[in-house]
């Protein structure tokens, strides 16, 4: 029953979540934190932070982790099948249809889609930012890192900025009031964890 629930929820999100990975995280928050309460607010924030630090699309990683928290390994795969291939298939169908329908390289409707996408992503960032940066020190770290990321256009710079953000948190947030925290529970053995870490670094 849980597996069917996981597949249906992620299939629905795969068909209706517009705006890319950042916006997807906002949709996930609404669906799994606010509405279904599969995961706590702060545990979700921790999970998002971890997946942003890993290579690859954060929304797919968060989705698989949420599926895992619901019904372990098979649910993780089902969550991915319901969400990622669905949206990919829609993209391919739209791309093929639009190129056959119009010979114009950059039709005006694509510009409208870009503008709408900016609005959707901005709304997602604002929604999460208000909750994750409730005071001046946290807001300052976020603004400094965001500004630096805009000025330094490099993949390695992004990794360095995330690492510097973690260091800044250790240094400047020790005296701040800690946010309510509920650890994200992973029911897996140490042996499984070691095997997955070996696979992770091997793939990386």
Instruction: Report the distance separating Cα 62 and Cα 68, nearest Å.
Output: 10
The per-residue pLDDT for 79 is 94
pLDDT at 75: 93
pLDDT digits (tens, 9 = 90+) for 5-36: 999 999 999 888 877 888 888 889 889 988 99
Given a cut of 60, whether residue 105 has pLDDT beyond it is: no
pTM reported for the whole predicted model: 0.78
Rounded Cα gap, residues 59 and 65, in angstroms: 10
Q: Residues 152-187: pLDDT tens digits? A: 888 888 888 988 988 998 888 876 556 556 666 677
Q: Please give the angle made by the CA atoms of 102, 103 and 104, to the nearest 5 degrees.
A: 90
Q: Which of 26-30, 72-76, 155-159, 197-201 has the lowest mean pLDDT?
A: 155-159
Q: What does the pLDDT read at residue 107?
A: 67
For residue 22, count other CB atoms closer than 10 A to its CB: 16
The SS3 of residue 104 is coil
- The pLDDT mean for the chain works out to 84
pLDDT digits (tens, 9 = 90+) for 138-152: 889 989 998 998 888
pLDDT classification of 125: cutoffs 50, 70, 90: confident
Which runs of consecutive H residues, i.e. helices, occur in the chain?
2-16, 21-28, 41-53, 58-101, 108-132, 136-151, 155-172, 190-203
């Amino acid at each position: 029953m849980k597996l069917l629930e996981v597949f249906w929820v992620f299939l629905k999100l795969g068909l209706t979540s517009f705006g890319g990975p950042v916006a997807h995280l906002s949709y996930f928050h609404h669906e799994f934190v606010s509405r279904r309460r599969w995961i706590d607010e702060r545990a979700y924030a921790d999970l998002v932070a971890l997946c942003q630090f890993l290579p690859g699309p954060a929304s797919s990683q968060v989705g698989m982790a949420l599926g895992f928290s619901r019904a372990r390994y098979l649910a993780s795969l089902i969550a991915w099948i319901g969400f990622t291939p669905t949206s990919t298939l829609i993209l391919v169908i739209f791309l093929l249809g639009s190129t056959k329908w119009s010979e114009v390289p950059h039709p005006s409707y694509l510009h409208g889609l870009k503008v709408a996408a900016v609005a959707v992503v901005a709304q997602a960032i604002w929604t999460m930012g208000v909750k994750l940066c409730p005071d001046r020190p946290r807001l300052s770290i976020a603004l400094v890192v965001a500004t630096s990321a805009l000025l330094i256009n490099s993949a390695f710079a992004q990794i360095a900025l995330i690492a510097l953000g973690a260091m800044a948190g250790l240094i400047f947030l020790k005296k701040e009031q800690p946010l309510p925290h509920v650890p994200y529970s992973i029911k897996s053995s140490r042996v499984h964890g070691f095997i997955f870490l070996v696979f992770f670094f091997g793939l990386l």
